[in-house]
Amino acid sequence: MADLIIACLSQKGGVGKSTLARLIARTYAVSGWTTKICDFNTTQLTSTHWAKIRKDAGIEPKIDAEAYNQPTALTREDYNLIVADGRPDSDQSSLDIALRSNLVVIPTGLSLDDLQPQLAFAKELVAKGVPAERILFVLSKITDSKIAIAEARGYLAEFRVADQHLTLKHSYQKSQNHGYALSEVQGLNTARLEEVADLVAAEIVSMVTELQEAA
């Protein structure tokens, strides 16, 4: 049975679920946790393909990934950490995954087009039994506009939003293309990008710890 299940879910597509799933998996794996990404986006298999590229390139630590259809089977996995990488929708499967997860991470951009469905999705999870304190929003793939960031935080005020955000960067995208996580970003002058990715991951780890201590 998995010690910990973290889900990256959303209603919107392309907002950064698989990116956060890979970052979270790498963060725990580097600390020695056996880690597997259960890839529920079976039409794209983003994380599954990424894990294969990573393995073929010999990048350590090793992260397993597999296409996955059955939320009910999540708890049976014999790994320290399972990261569920969700489908872009709010169907029953996302709810079933969320109900089995210790933490649900929801990425969102800054536009109302992103914020509105993502907030509605989080509220729906809560209405159906997912505790609000188990939900974390992460602003992802965004510009660095202080005003827009503050507005987005205001819009999401009833939920916890990670203090750090992930800006849209070519080096992040390129690194993932080569099997790296955002905290392993490749390229010149990327130390700050790596640091921010590590800080986002650290917030997720500390939220999990807080929830476990409170349980």
Ligand X SMILES: Nc1ncnc2c1ncn2[C@@H]1O[C@H](COP(=O)(O)OP(=O)(O)OP(=O)(O)O)[C@@H](O)[C@H]1O
- Is the Cβ of residue 84 or residue 155 nearer to Mg ion in the bound state? 84
Diameter of the chain by CA atoms?
46
Which one of 11, 93, 176, 183 is in contact with ligand X (CB under 6 A)?
176
Distance CA(198)–CA(200), nearest Å, equals 5
**Which regions of the chain does DSSP assign to beta strands (E)?**
4-10, 35-39, 64-67, 81-88, 103-108, 135-142, 160-161, 166-167
Block residue for tokens 């393995």: 55
User: CB neighbours of 149 closer than 8 A, spacing ≥ 6?
Assistant: 110, 139, 142, 165
**Which pair of tokens denotes residue 75?**
């708890």
10 binds Mg ion (CB under 5 A): no
Residue closer to ligand X (CB basis): 130 or 181: 181
In the complex, the smallest distance separating the C-beta of residue 44 from Mg ion, rounded to whole angstroms, is 6
**Which of 46, 99, 44, 38 has its CA nearest to residue 70?**
38
Q: Which is nearer to ligand X, 44 or 190 (CB)?
A: 44
Stretch that binds Mg ion, among 41-49, 101-109, 113-121, 144-152 (CB under 5 A): 41-49
User: Of the ranges 96-104, 125-133, 155-163, 166-174, which one interacts with ligand X (CB under 6 A)?
Assistant: 166-174
Is residue 18 a contact residue for Mg ion (CB under 5 A)?
A: yes
Element (H, E) at 153: helix 146-155
The one among 34, 35, 41, 108 contacting Mg ion by CB under 5 A: 41
Residue 107, preceding peptide bond in cis (omega within 30° of 0): no
Q: By CB under 6 A, tell whether 134 contacts ligand X.
A: no
Interaction with ligand X in 12-71: which residues (CB under 6 A)?
Answer: 13-19, 41, 44, 46
> Residue 100 or 141: which CB sits closer to ligand X?
141
**Where along the sequence are the contacts to ligand X (CB under 6 A)?**
13-19, 41, 44, 46, 88, 140-141, 166, 168-169, 172-173, 176
